[in-house]
């Protein structure tokens, strides 16, 4: 007999599939980003159905929130339209079908979805559910006690990952003074920050008429 939650589960999964396929099909990147946001939001819903409220919360905040904002910010810089694919997608299709096939093969021996007797629910998890109250203290949300204490080291690593991402993005994107555009002999020239006057004059003399290569923003905000 199918229970109401199962119906919700199935409906959400179908919704996800539809969204996913729509992402593949659309050539409008703006739409794709939005659909990806929706995908995150719907999966957040699915997480709630599967009792993962913390994950749902985070997925909603990150997947639908931050990720979407970042992607939109990027699109504003790189344009909204995707080109027609030029090669036949046979190889990717093969890889995907193979990977999926292997995974499906792997699931065939798995205990049924949601069965309380699954080995995963028998070994370490019960310890957390039963003992965290004594060991960690009164923190009803077991996810929090596992996250911050039992597996606190992972969380520290996760914080470090976030920090690493910031370091990386700032290395790539930060810049100090923007390159200037200088008008010279009826043409505009882009000048990197830090160029001295002598260099500039020498370059103007040497300039043969080509538009200079795109400028790399050197210098950081700190």
Map the footprint of other proteins across residues 136-165, applying CB under 8 A: 136-165
Q: Which is nearer to other proteins, 1 or 206 (CB)?
A: 1
Binders of other proteins in range 1-40 (CB under 8 A): 1-3, 5-6, 9-10, 13, 16-17, 20-21, 23-24, 29, 32-33, 36, 39-40
Q: Does 209 interact with other proteins (rule: CB under 8 A)?
A: no
Q: For residue 64, what are the CA distances in angstroms to 15, 45, 82, 141, 181? A: 16, 12, 22, 24, 38
CB atoms within 10 A of CB 45: 19
Residue 135 C-beta: closest distance to other proteins, Å: 8
Residue 39 C-beta: closest distance to other proteins, Å: 6
Q: Which is nearer to other proteins, 105 or 208 (CB)?
A: 105
DSSP 44-101: HHHHHHTT-HHHHHHHIIIIIIIHHHHHHHHHHHH-SBPPPP-S-THHHHHHHHHHHH
Q: For residue 114, what are the CA distances in angstroms to 6, 17, 193, 207? A: 11, 21, 60, 70
Q: Which is nearer to other proteins, 192 or 201 (CB)?
A: 192
| 144: three-class secondary structure by DSSP | helix
- Contacting range for other proteins; rule: CB under 8 A; set: 60-68, 195-203, 204-212: 60-68
Residue 142 C-beta: closest distance to other proteins, Å: 4
Q: Phi/psi at 132 (nearest 5 deg)?
A: -60, -30
Per rule CB under 8 A, count of chain residues that contact other proteins: 143
Q: List the x/- string, 62-81, binding to other proteins by CB under 8 A.
A: xx-xxx-xxx-xxxxxxx--
């Amino acid at each position: 007999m199918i229970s109401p939650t199962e119906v919700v589960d199935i409906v959400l999964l179908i919704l996800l599939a539809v969204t996913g396929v729509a992402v593949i099909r659309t050539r409008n990147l703006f739409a794709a980003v939005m659909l990806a946001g929706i995908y995150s939001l719907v999966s957040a819903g699915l997480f709630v159905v599967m009792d993962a409220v913390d994950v749902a919360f985070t997925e909603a905040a990150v997947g639908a929130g931050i990720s979407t904002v970042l992607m939109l910010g990027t699109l504003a810089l790189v344009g909204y339209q995707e080109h027609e694919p030029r090669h036949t997608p046979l190889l990717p299709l093969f890889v995907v079908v193979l990977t999926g096939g292997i995974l499906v093969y792997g699931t065939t021996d798995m205990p049924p979805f949601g069965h309380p007797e699954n080995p995963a629910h028998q070994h370490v998890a019960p310890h957390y559910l039963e003992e965290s109250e004594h060991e960690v203290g009164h923190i009803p949300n077991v996810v929090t006690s596992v996250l911050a204490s039992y597996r606190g080291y992972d969380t520290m690593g996760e914080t470090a990952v976030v920090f690493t991402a910031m370091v990386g993005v700032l290395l790539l994107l930060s810049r100090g003074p923007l390159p200037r555009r200088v008008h010279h002999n009826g043409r505009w020239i882009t000048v990197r920050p830090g160029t001295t006057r002598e260099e500039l004059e020498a370059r103007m003399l040497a300039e043969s008429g080509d538009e200079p290569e795109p400028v790399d923003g050197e210098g950081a905000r700190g």
